[in-house]
Amino acid sequence: MSEKSKKKGFYLPTIILGLIVTVIFLLAIFTYQVPATERALVLRMGRIISAPEGVMPGLHFRWPLPFEEVIKYDVRLRTFDGKIGKYEESTTRDKRQVVIGINVFYRIKNLNQFKTAASLEAAEDYLSSRMRTAKAAVIGLYNYDQLINTDPKKMKLGEMRDKMLAEIAPDVMARYGLEVTSVNFISIGVPEKTAVKIAERMKNERMTAAAKIREEGRTEAEKIKTNAILKQQETITKAESTAKKLMADGDAEAARHYEAFSQAPKLAAFLRKLDSMKKIMASKTTLILDTSTNPFNLFNTNFNELKEEADKLSAGKKAAK
């Protein structure tokens, strides 16, 4: 291989590398990349030439500086609580003091308008001022119980948010190209002096309610006690009536038996003695007694006489029937 061929083979990689570097350099000068979360504002000789919403994500051609300048902005949704008057007292329509905190969600939408702001902080300062003004104006249109209430149907928080959004969004869009998508309440409270009065009033209300419940309880207890006494007296009355009826029936039945036995006194005496013997000798018993002692003198009974009385008594019952 000749000396000339060797030199040509040595310089070829260097030339290729130089071309690659040149291409990369030209691409860096004449193109720019816009990420998905950003939009680009293009100025040609200081004059904006891009659309208001900016250049979309992707790779784009550009003239190098100083002919064209590319400014990129993050257009993701941001949350902002405000800077001034965040927790100032506001006055409701019925002259009650409340402490309201709100925030907004916004994004940079019109890059041409946003360019007029000195910085994002300057644009947020203006947004904070508009939030403060809108909050005070809208709160003044509603009563206290439409902000704070145990009944959700009486509250108008959604309506208030919509009105605040209508107050804030068009102004900041026209001035700095910021798109406000929503307004939200982050806190609702009352001043400390008002909170003390509310706590005292709530305490009194609870005490009144407790006294009312206790009184209702006592009334109900007395009612239950009275009903129980009435039922007790009614039960006793019914029991006494039933007992008297049973006693009357028993007396009537006994009278019938006494009448029957009066016709057969010897038989009646014998039966009474027999019942007494059954009770005395209910178990195995050994007694040594004189048969002249009641009721053991029944062993001396003249059963013929008893039979005659029993027959006479039976005949009398048949005749009665």
Rg (the chain; Cα; Å): 57
Residues 1-13 have pLDDT tens digits of 555 555 555 577 7
Contact by Cβ (8 Å): 165, 187: no
Cα distances from 137 to residues 84, 105, 163, 251, 313, in angstroms, run 16, 20, 10, 97, 116
Measure CA of the first residue to CA of the last residue in the chain; give whole Å.
166
Identify the helix (H) or strand (E) that includes residue 238: helix 192-262
pLDDT in tens, 4-42: 555 555 577 777 877 788 777 767 788 888 999 999 999
How far apart CA 131 and CA 171 sit, in angstroms, is 11
Residue 300 has a pLDDT of: 59
Q: With contact defined as beta carbons under 8 Å apart, do 313 and 260 qualify?
A: yes
Residues 137/167, Cβ–Cβ less than 8 Å = yes
Ranges of the chain whose pLDDT falls below 50: none
Q: At 9, which amino acid appears? A: G
CB neighbourhood size of 189 (10 A): 14
Q: Which residue has the tokens 């990369």?
A: 24
What pLDDT does 294 receive?
A: 61
Question: What residue segments make up the domains of the chain, in order of their start?
Answer: 3-74, 78-190, 265-321
Tokens representing 61 are 């051609």
- Confidence (pLDDT) at 188: 87
Q: Would you state the structure tokens that stand for residue 72, as one six-digit string? A: 């990129």
The secondary element (H helix, E strand) that includes residue 262 is: helix 192-262
> Residue 189 corresponds to which tokens in the numbers above?
């409270």
Tell me the CATH architecture of domain 78-190. Answer: 2-Layer Sandwich (3.30)
User: CA-to-CA distance for 318 and 321, rounded, in angstroms?
Assistant: 5
* Percentage of the residues of the chain whose pLDDT score is greater than 90: 30
